[in-house]
Amino acid sequence: MPIKNKVSLTIDGKPVTVPEGTLIVNAAKLIGVDIPVFCYHPKMEPVGMCRQCLVEVGRPVIDRATGNPVLEEDGSLKIQFGAKLETACSTPVSEGMVVVGTSAKAVAGRKEILEFLLTSHPLDCPICDKGGECPLQNLTMRHGPGESRFNYAEKMHLAKKFPLGELIYLDRERCIQCGRCVRFQSLIADDPVISFTDRGRSLQIFSHSEPGFDSYFSGNTTDICPVGALTTVDFRFEARPWELCTTASICAHCPVGCNLAINLRREARSNGEVVIKRIMPRQNESVNEIWICDKGRFGYHYTQSKNRLTQPLVRREGELVAIGWDEVLSYVAENFKDAGQNLLTLASGRLSNEDLFNLSELTSGLGGKSALYTDMAGGDLVTQLGVGKGTNLSDLGKGTVILVVASDLHEEAPIWWLRVKQAAERGATLIVTNPRYTKLERYASQVIRYNYGSEASTILAMINTLSAKQNFPKAPKIAQGGEAIKSAAETITSAENLIVFYGSEGIGLEASQALAQACANLLMVTNHVRKVNNGLIPVWPRANDQGAWEIGFRPLPNLKEALQQYEALYIAAADPAGDDPSLADVIRNAGFVVVQDLFLTETAKLADVVLPAQAFTEREGTFTSGERRVQRFYPGVVRNEYKPDYAITAGISKLAELNVEAVPFRIFNHLEAKVPTFAGINYRMLAQVTEQWPIVDRGGLYYGGTLYANAQGLGVQLSLPSQIPSLTWPEVPGVYLSEGQLLAVPVTILYDRGQTVIPSELLYLRIPSAHIALNPENARFLNLTDGTKVQFTLDGITVKVRLHVNDQVPIGVAIVPRSLGVSLRSPTPIEIKTIESG
């Protein structure tokens, strides 16, 4: 980025030097001068609508003849003030400028605008959810007229509860028409599903989408709303902001690692328990800025679900019955000791680094095997070729190429989608490579379509295209690509920086291993490795998959076979029987099965012992994001009936006479000592914070609630090992279809029917029912229409679901959304039949 010239000015007598182009309001913020704003938000371009930030602006008088500033008699610069007040939010600073917000004229201007706003405002602060964290309320306290000159009877009365959708309500009386929400939705989220309509004093916000306010980012508008006009349905009239205490957390839904603030309250109606009242974003400019998606905001309800396991269960005479913690842990420890090397621990990336490390310590201590429960591979390559330390998607712009392969980022990791989109808008070259349309394509300079199954060969073809010209190695058995691939390859090779996102659109474990290797090779041959703002980012299905790989967990190439081989199974945060019914029998037949989870999953139903674990909101720990940032989360709700996973494992270990720590920071210290990529990191470092821009926490609360501020840690990115891996050419698995078959492929959608989504009643309307999707042409050929019930066989199990017809589905393919009632772990040929109605 070009270094900008510095400009010196004074604001209310205080000198400040800032880069050219800085807006007055931001320069003032830096030196703690309060300039009130409503419509301005530092994440968006100024619009100068609300006029609240009026200041007097003086500029040095320049002698036209000489070009020099004119001096006063005392030698100081002669300053000329404009006749009108100017908006500090939209006026850039200039050398020698004198900004005055404290003069009688400026103060009067501010009061007058405030009086105008209040003529229409209902002043219902006593029942307003924003009360206590509302800039309008604060300004009214300070500058507001003591009495209204506006005739109260003439106030416009408008809807107090106007649903923009089922997630967000609008109070039309409180709205001050600042337009932040509308601009956020159209400029940042690019979901222009809310807008102003009507005009003048009747100007108001509405939504015309179906469902209303149809956006994955809608909740953010309630944060940036400067008054109590927009509220989330689950917080509306639920609590007063000053009753809440806050705990810092990390979102557990996807690998982005959004920083969260959990708002808690101890309340009578919850029997004196501390409960979560809302979840808001916490500022981390390197991860999520000040945004989160609606899954992160509204999905937490699963942690307070009535269906949570509340006590350990043991199988007695075929039934699962309650048992005490001490008793159950000894029972488990005995059995695990007996199993020894016949113990298989299967855990998922939903667990924290501490949980996984303890699981690994216990299992290896007994001589057993730990494995990662996942359908996506490549974490080992990410350990070696992940993004360089200091990488920040917000820094990417011109000169950077972002390649997204086999991933619908909008569905899989919405905040990454947002940040990649913004990087493209700043000038980064975005190449999207996917078998079907995804929303990210809107910002792509290039789109490459391939057939499902050809993801790895598409990337390898790029390398081979380059090999023709340069001394690159060449992938065997892969053809050179066509024009689109050629042009993408050339763009990539000449890029200053290259970031590759790879996901699991349409693929299972085996193919994703090949894809990850192909992407790794592309980074290596084009020399985009071990550098800041370069590297491989895996779009994992879970929050801490990368942590699991770093700690040494690896997926099992053949899960069914493995489950059959081992005598004892320790399954934590994984539901193999639920995800794949064909595994149920194998699990049922295993010698001793322990399931550690939040819910009585399909797998838990088959277990000999079920251990209730705490949710991420109830405990502390760390997650490692897809960008390899290790971040701490802290306990919010304390519930003693469940235990944190690491503690359960430590309890079993102790009884099995193994030395495993039970306190998170100590576990982390052990982890740090054993896992090289964690070397040098400790809990204290993870809790450190440096100043971030924009400043959202100082005075005024102009940019949202009190909760954006991050005082609990920005996290630390893992370093990369010094060795670059050697080039290995992957085997690309083939898929063969017979006559009359379609290829069923798994894809990820944000709102699925998984255990961490479905309990959220709020999201219920947005969660689709079980279905598969076909192209209209295939549907026509099969004589099927949208909504027909169809059946097919998968792994010997008959599946009956509704059919969706969608022209974005490629021909010959059946799209099967993951965790939506159809278990499909890798591409599989199927034959679709109608179910006779009746």
Partner 1 sequence: MNALLEKYPNEIQMILAKYPSDRAGKRSAVMPLLYLAQRENGYITKEAIAQIADICEVSTTEVASLIGFYTLYHDEPSGKYHIQVCTDLPCALRGADEFLEKLCQNLGIKVGETTRDGKIIVEAVMCLAGCDKAPMFQVQSPEGIEYHENQTVESALEVISKLREG
Partner 2 sequence: MAEHILLRHRAIPGLDQIDTYRQNEGLIALKKAVTSMDPNDVTNEVKASGLRGRGGAGFPTGMKWSFIDGNNWPHFVVANADESEPGTFKDREIMEGNPYQFLEGVAICAYAVKANDAYIYLRGEFWPIARKLDQCIAEMEKAGYLGDKLFKTNISIRLHTHLGAGAYICGEESAMLDSLEGKLGQPRLRPPFPPAVGVYSKPTIVNNVETLTNVPMIINRGAAWYKTIGTEKSPGPKIFSLSGCVNRPGNYELPLGTTFRELIMDHGRGILGGHKIKAIMAAGASSSLIVATDEALNTPMDYESVPQLGAQLGSASVIVIDDSVSIPWLINKTIHFFKHESCGKCTPCREGTYWMMHLTEHIASGEASMAEVQLLHDVASQIKGKCLCALGEFSIEAPLSGIERFSADFESVTNKSNA
Distance, CA of 184 to chain centre: 17
Residue among 113 and 347 whose Cβ is closer to partner 2:
113
Q: Find out whether 610 and 240 touch, Cβ atoms under 8 Å.
A: no
**Candidate residues 4, 201, 588, 684; the one interacting with partner 2 per rule CB under 8 A:** 201
Query: Which residues between 125 and 164 bind partner 2 (CB under 8 A)?
Result: 149-151, 154, 156
As measured in angstroms, the least distance from the Cβ of 127 to partner 2 is 23
**Which of partner 1, partner 2, none binds 648 (CB below 5-8 Å, type-dependent)?**
none
- C-alpha 370/C-alpha 570 separation (Å) is 9
Interaction between residue 74 and partner 1 (CB under 8 A): no
**Candidate residues 207, 221, 249, 286; the one interacting with partner 1 per rule CB under 8 A:** 207
As measured in angstroms, the least distance from the Cβ of 212 to partner 1 is 10
The piece of 44-52, 612-620, 639-647, 789-797 that touches partner 2 (CB under 8 A) is 44-52
Is beta strand 828-830 parallel, antiparallel or unpaired with respect to 742-747? Answer: antiparallel
**Which of partner 2, partner 1, none binds 149 (CB below 5-8 Å, type-dependent)?**
partner 2
Write the interaction track for partner 1 spanning residues 133-172; mark x where CB under 8 A is met and - where it is not.
Answer: ----------------------------------------
- C-alpha 190/C-alpha 183 separation (Å) is 9
**Which of partner 1, partner 2, none binds 317 (CB below 5-8 Å, type-dependent)?**
none
How many binding residues for partner 2 (CB under 8 A)?
A: 37
Query: Which residues between 159 and 188 bind partner 2 (CB under 8 A)?
Result: 176-177, 179
**Which of partner 1, partner 2, none binds 103 (CB below 5-8 Å, type-dependent)?**
none
Is beta strand 319-322 parallel, antiparallel or unpaired with respect to 313-316? Answer: antiparallel
- C-alpha 359/C-alpha 645 separation (Å) is 9
Burial class (CB in 10 A: 0-12, 13-18, 19+), 734: exposed
Interaction between residue 194 and partner 1 (CB under 8 A): yes
Interaction between residue 64 and partner 2 (CB under 8 A): no
197 phi, psi to nearest 5 deg: -140, 175
Residue among 48 and 192 whose Cβ is closer to partner 1:
192
Where is 683: in which H helix or E strand?
helix 683-686
Beta strands in 4-148 (DSSP E): 6-11, 14-19, 54-60, 79-81, 86-87, 98-100
- Contacts for 338 with CB less than 8 Å, ≥ 6 apart: 568
Q: Which residues pair with 817 in a beta bridge?
A: 747
Interaction between residue 109 and partner 2 (CB under 8 A): yes
Residue among 199 and 269 whose Cβ is closer to partner 1:
199
- C-alpha 749/C-alpha 772 separation (Å) is 12
Residue among 697 and 786 whose Cβ is closer to partner 1:
786
Residue among 174 and 825 whose Cβ is closer to partner 2:
174
- C-alpha 290/C-alpha 271 separation (Å) is 33
**Candidate residues 17, 34, 48, 669; the one interacting with partner 2 per rule CB under 8 A:** 48
Residue among 105 and 670 whose Cβ is closer to partner 2:
105
The piece of 106-114, 293-301, 473-481, 745-753 that touches partner 2 (CB under 8 A) is 106-114
- C-alpha 39/C-alpha 174 separation (Å) is 14
**Candidate residues 69, 192, 768, 829; the one interacting with partner 1 per rule CB under 8 A:** 192
**Candidate residues 81, 116, 150, 196; the one interacting with partner 1 per rule CB under 8 A:** 196
Query: Nearest-CA neighbor of 519 among 463, 438, 466?
Result: 463
Query: Nearest-CA neighbor of 555 among 734, 347, 745?
Result: 347
What are the angstrom distances between the C-alpha of 246 and each of 127, 181, 241, 279, 606? 21, 25, 10, 9, 38
Interaction between residue 217 and partner 1 (CB under 8 A): no
Interaction between residue 437 and partner 1 (CB under 8 A): no
Interaction between residue 765 and partner 2 (CB under 8 A): no
Residue among 162 and 633 whose Cβ is closer to partner 1:
162
Contacts 24+ apart (CB under 8 A), 205-214: 205/164, 205/170, 205/172, 205/175, 205/181, 205/229, 206/164, 207/164, 207/165, 209/165, 211/165, 211/166, 211/765, 211/766, 212/163, 212/164, 212/165, 212/166, 213/164, 213/165, 213/167, 213/168, 214/165
777 phi, psi to nearest 5 deg: -65, -45
Task: Write out the DSSP string of 219-269.
Answer: THHHHH-SSTTEEETTTTTT--GGG-EEEEEE--SSTT--EEEEEEEEEGG
Q: Find out whether 264 and 637 touch, Cβ atoms under 8 Å.
A: yes
- C-alpha 193/C-alpha 182 separation (Å) is 8
Interaction between residue 202 and partner 2 (CB under 8 A): yes
Q: Find out whether 35 and 53 touch, Cβ atoms under 8 Å.
A: yes
Interaction between residue 116 and partner 2 (CB under 8 A): yes
- C-alpha 111/C-alpha 23 separation (Å) is 22
**Candidate residues 74, 198, 657, 739; the one interacting with partner 1 per rule CB under 8 A:** 198
**Which of partner 1, partner 2, none binds 194 (CB below 5-8 Å, type-dependent)?**
partner 1
**Which of partner 2, partner 1, none binds 156 (CB below 5-8 Å, type-dependent)?**
partner 2
Q: Three-state DSSP class for 168?
A: strand
Residue among 207 and 622 whose Cβ is closer to partner 1:
207
As measured in angstroms, the least distance from the Cβ of 826 to partner 2 is 46
How many binding residues for partner 1 (CB under 8 A)?
A: 14
Structure token digits, residue 504: 């699991």
The piece of 188-196, 332-340, 476-484, 829-837 that touches partner 1 (CB under 8 A) is 188-196
Residue among 90 and 788 whose Cβ is closer to partner 2:
90
As measured in angstroms, the least distance from the Cβ of 186 to partner 1 is 8
Structure token digits, residue 444: 């792509």
As measured in angstroms, the least distance from the Cβ of 39 to partner 1 is 18
Residue among 149 and 477 whose Cβ is closer to partner 2:
149
The piece of 43-51, 263-271, 495-503, 766-774 that touches partner 2 (CB under 8 A) is 43-51
Residue among 148 and 589 whose Cβ is closer to partner 2:
148
The residues that touch partner 2, with contacts defined as CB under 8 A, are 46-52, 54, 83-85, 90, 109, 112-113, 115-117, 119-120, 149-151, 154, 156, 176-177, 179, 195-203
The residues that touch partner 1, with contacts defined as CB under 8 A, are 191-199, 206-210
